[in-house]
């Protein structure tokens, strides 16, 4: 099973759609194994968005991400990284398909509701940045046997 990071950005918090977003991942069959609210600071943002550090809009990104606390989540499931990234939709929400989180809840490129990991390597790096090992829990849902076929479980 894969693990992936989701950050519910200040735009999701301020709009009061936290529960709706989490519910979508739960209904898909992903397992929530870590969840916390935190106020991001320069240190964590400089690490997390280091690939944007030289971009002219980097300060806007940091200002947006520090507008209020965020909620960071770790979701687990078969192909969780691809599933979650697909559910989020295109980064530029105005181009995101209806039915995706960004397509249904956002019009903005910057205020695009969620961040999701885009690869196995990125997910591992991001989860280590936002969670300590003891903050992630291993358990099995009672409904687990109804989420996957017998031949789909690793």
Residue extents of the structural domains in the chain: 2-138
Sign of CA dihedral 2, 5, 11, 15: positive
Per the DSSP assignment, residues forming a β-bridge with 3 are 76
Looking at residue 110, its pLDDT comes to 85
What is the C-alpha separation between 93 and 121, in angstroms, rounded? 24
Tens digit of each residue's pLDDT (9 = 90 or more) over 46-90: 999 999 999 999 999 999 999 999 999 999 999 999 999 999 999
DSSP string, 24-50: HHHHHT-EEEEEEEE---HHHHHHHTG
| pLDDT band for position 154 (cuts 50, 70, 90) | low
Hey, which residues are catalytic here? 115
pTM for this model (two decimals): 0.94
| CATH assignment, 2-138 | 3.30.70.141
Burial of 56 (0-12, 13-18, 19+ CB in 10 A): exposed
Tens digit of each residue's pLDDT (9 = 90 or more) over 109-129: 889 999 999 999 999 999 999
């Amino acid at each position: 099973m894969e693990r992936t990071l989701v950050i519910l950005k200040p735009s999701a918090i301020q709009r009061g759609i936290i529960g709706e977003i989490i519910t979508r991942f739960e209904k898909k069959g992903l397992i929530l194994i870590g969840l916390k609210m935190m106020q991001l600071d320069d240190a964590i943002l400089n690490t997390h968005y280091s690939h944007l550090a030289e971009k002219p809009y980097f300060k806007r990104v940091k200002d947006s991400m520090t507008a209020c606390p965020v909620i960071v989540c770790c979701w687990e499931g078969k192909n969780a990284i691809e599933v979650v990234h697909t559910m989020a939709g295109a980064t530029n929400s105005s181009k995101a398909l209806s039915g995706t989180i960004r397509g249904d809840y956002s019009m903005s490129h910057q205020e695009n509701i969620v961040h999701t990991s885009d690869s196995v390597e990125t997910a591992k790096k991001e989860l280590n940045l936002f969670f300590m090992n003891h903050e992630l829990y291993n358990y099995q849902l009672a409904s687990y046997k109804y989420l996957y076929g017998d031949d789909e479980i690793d």
